[in-house]
Structure 1
């Protein structure tokens, strides 16, 4: 497949190339040293577009790396729009709309659709299913212990991290057990396509469209089924939800399914893996947490999320000529919000490169930078992490945790494999 050259840049690119594939195959600490240089410099830095298999006309993007600047952009949707897409990578608008749904909208349109979804995705709904989350977490750890007692080294990601988020989403929305694995894999591989384990460079466009098709079709079919056969689940609530005379169409529900399967599945999965490894590397903190788990877990979960920062970045586009951090930005130019950098900003976090579950306050951007796009599933993710780590820390025998194999991605901070075995 031929990749078209980007148009001429209106200005020189920064010498630190954070768009290069090699940058994103480096480890997190190495990347953050580069982001640290960008945070310390005045203004914003201009970078070449990420390589794309899709034709595009992007000349580059502004890297927003400081906590304060990410927060400002996130909260000023009138100046920094989501409507042209959320991806730092150059992607066609129709693909971004199919994968992001109301994330790729601005108020008031975004407000309407968020209200339609949030009317059925409330803290009360999370509390209603918390007992099921707890039961699922216990069952997952039961099976994990059985596998470990067989004596072989196992992959913690496959046997534990990946299981609870998908079960939770499936229970909430009503995905049939026989369809759960296919939906989980489609969500995972859609946002992991820059890793050669999922697709070669030449295959990435076809691969992405295939996974979107699987997830969209699953959502549409389930919506149609629930209209005929209502259940006590999220999908039934969604197809019946109405705000100001508006209801979601089947196509919109299909797009929401892509968003829910990925945001509700892969992100919590990655946080679980990163946090489990971090606790193994910091036994003193693990001991502090287990000494008074019920009181301390809420604080610990915030550090789990900051440390993992499962979503590395999102993008916006300037709607007017504006200024940020002393840098002039032209209308239409893309700005990339690097949450992974903001969550290591030493202007906000003391010793940001250290894992510290006693950290307080902890104004991380693991759920976005605030504003109207703050993650709708934040309470659900916290509940899953709290319940799963209660099972892991109170019931799992002592294990030896090996070195993670990381996902090669500039979107998801992912752990592909994490070997564990009984001590």
Structure 2
């Protein structure tokens, strides 16, 4: 063990490669991964300075977990690495993280109970209804997109396609009033893109973040109260009625779930759609291969869409007690940041990880997390949306040319803000 590994956090030297500053996250994905690739080759974990604080909260730093194997280990041992002390890489009080992330900041058995509560609302009947709604929405969205393309002018794919399906899906599932959908979608996008100066300057980000949270939370609590008195045949009615071990969700808890669903369920699928469409347009041979047997091949293709895009770049854990990860001594209470973006380009876990390849047969990606108790609850929904939407896109949209994408400046979301598309 090196002196750095055994030193107290307050005196430990930060690694020479700074992956915490906004300037690092302003670089493109491949450029950033050249840095992560260096970290993956180093023995053990590396210690880094905290990102600039937006909230009045200070932290000593964090351990960067960059290899697929180590991320899986930390993710699958909640008894050693807790989520209850916070999951944000950025310095942020846990009192603010809990209401904005709901059961993501819980450990088993509490996390298990809440996960079962939410899962119990997804009956086979609800899932069948959701699938038919997604199929109809996907067809309608692509129809609108084709009408826009027919003018010959450039069309923003993100605004016209990517952002529409997940929000319509969530709105249909839980019954958001159509008049409120845009406001909810914009709040979700802005909340997790708040590090981008297009949304808010640094001095305004804490206030801006909480304002977006308030919009989403109020939408959820208001709808929960309404469904308790006026139930419908929709998911929100099922959620407020769900019961596990004598426990039901309160209106405040439903509001917190709404924040999670509107952000995690909306923005992640949106980003995967944009990145995957760009990748397929740039690789026509792979698009043709997929279309030769779409039903049989789309499952593996969707996994590559998610790996390639890695919409969520990281989450954090804290050590419950003194322990070891990859030969590095971690002290109780210290933060570990799990960089899924690095795991999804780890050469020891994936063949040719810098190549987009929908034909790959070994795809142990971390796009839905590192496994364990916090494996993405909405993975099935994301896969369903991508499968149904890309069926419409690939079978109906003619050859197009892409403009250069504009990316969200964020250390949390791998996002595309705008991407011009024009019919060839």
Q: Is the pair's TM-score, using the shorter chain for normalization, greater than 0.5? A: yes
Residue matched to 2:5:
none
Map 1:121-132 onto structure 2 (within 5 A): 121=122, 125-132=126-133
Residue matched to 2:4:
none
The Cα of 1:124 is off from its aligned counterpart by 5.4
Q: Is the 8 A contact 2:175 2:234 kept in 1?
A: yes
Residue matched to 1:269:
270
Secondary structure class of the residue paired with 1:336: strand
Aligned length: 417
Residue matched to 2:395:
394
The Cα of 1:45 is off from its aligned counterpart by 0.3
The Cα of 1:206 is off from its aligned counterpart by 0.6
Q: Is the 8 A contact 2:9 2:61 kept in 1?
A: no
Deviations 1:345-370 (A, max 9, x none): 00011110000001112111111110
Inter-partner Cα distance in structure 2 for 1:38 and 1:121: 41
Instruction: Tell me, yes or no, if structure 1 residue 298 matches structure 2 residue 310.
Output: no
State TM-score, norm by structure 2. 0.97
The range that moved more, 66-75 or 289-298, is 289-298
Q: Is the 8 A contact 1:404 1:417 kept in 2?
A: yes
The Cα of 1:54 is off from its aligned counterpart by 1.1
The Cα of 1:125 is off from its aligned counterpart by 3.0
Secondary structure class of the residue paired with 1:197: coil
Inter-partner Cα distance in structure 1 for 2:98 and 2:180: 24
Secondary structure class of the residue paired with 1:57: coil
Inter-partner Cα distance in structure 2 for 1:243 and 1:291: 45
Inter-partner Cα distance in structure 1 for 2:290 and 2:300: 10
Structural RMSD (CA): 1.1
Deviations 1:361-413 (A, max 9, x none): 21111111100101111111001000000000000121111111011000000
Instruction: Tell me, yes or no, if structure 1 residue 30 matches structure 2 residue 37.
Output: no
Map 1:186-335 onto structure 2 (within 5 A): 186-335=187-336
Secondary structure class of the residue paired with 2:318: strand
The Cα of 1:122 is off from its aligned counterpart by 5.2
The Cα of 1:94 is off from its aligned counterpart by 2.1
Residue matched to 1:361:
362
Inter-partner Cα distance in structure 1 for 2:368 and 2:124: 16
Secondary structure class of the residue paired with 2:376: coil
Secondary structure class of the residue paired with 2:417: strand
Residue matched to 1:4:
none
Secondary structure class of the residue paired with 1:305: helix
The Cα of 1:129 is off from its aligned counterpart by 1.6
Secondary structure class of the residue paired with 1:317: strand
Q: Is the 8 A contact 1:10 1:59 kept in 2?
A: no
Q: Which runs of 5+ in 1 are unaligned?
A: 1-6
Map 1:81-96 onto structure 2 (within 5 A): 81-96=82-97
Residue matched to 1:3:
none
The range that moved more, 269-278 or 92-101, is 92-101
Inter-partner Cα distance in structure 2 for 1:393 and 1:146: 16
Secondary structure class of the residue paired with 1:323: strand
Instruction: Tell me, yes or no, if structure 1 residue 57 matches structure 2 residue 64.
Output: no
Q: Is the 8 A contact 2:319 2:335 kept in 1?
A: yes
Inter-partner Cα distance in structure 2 for 1:65 and 1:43: 10
Q: Is the 8 A contact 2:313 2:412 kept in 1?
A: yes
The Cα of 1:127 is off from its aligned counterpart by 2.9
The Cα of 1:103 is off from its aligned counterpart by 0.6
Inter-partner Cα distance in structure 2 for 1:169 and 1:246: 24
Residue matched to 1:13:
14
Q: Is the 8 A contact 1:24 1:409 kept in 2?
A: yes
Q: Is the 8 A contact 2:185 2:266 kept in 1?
A: yes
The Cα of 1:343 is off from its aligned counterpart by 0.5
Inter-partner Cα distance in structure 2 for 1:42 and 1:126: 45
The Cα of 1:8 is off from its aligned counterpart by 7.5
**Residues 106 and 8 (structure 1 numbering): CA distance in 2 closer, same or farther, change over 3 Å?**
closer
Inter-partner Cα distance in structure 2 for 1:10 and 1:221: 48
Inter-partner Cα distance in structure 1 for 2:49 and 2:257: 31
**Residues 122 and 47 (structure 1 numbering): CA distance in 2 closer, same or farther, change over 3 Å?**
farther
The Cα of 1:283 is off from its aligned counterpart by 1.1
Deviations 1:76-112 (A, max 9, x none): 0000000011111111212211111001000111111
Q: Which runs of 5+ in 2 are unaligned?
A: 1-7
Deviations 1:112-158 (A, max 9, x none): 11111111135653333211111100000000000011121010000
The Cα of 1:10 is off from its aligned counterpart by 2.9
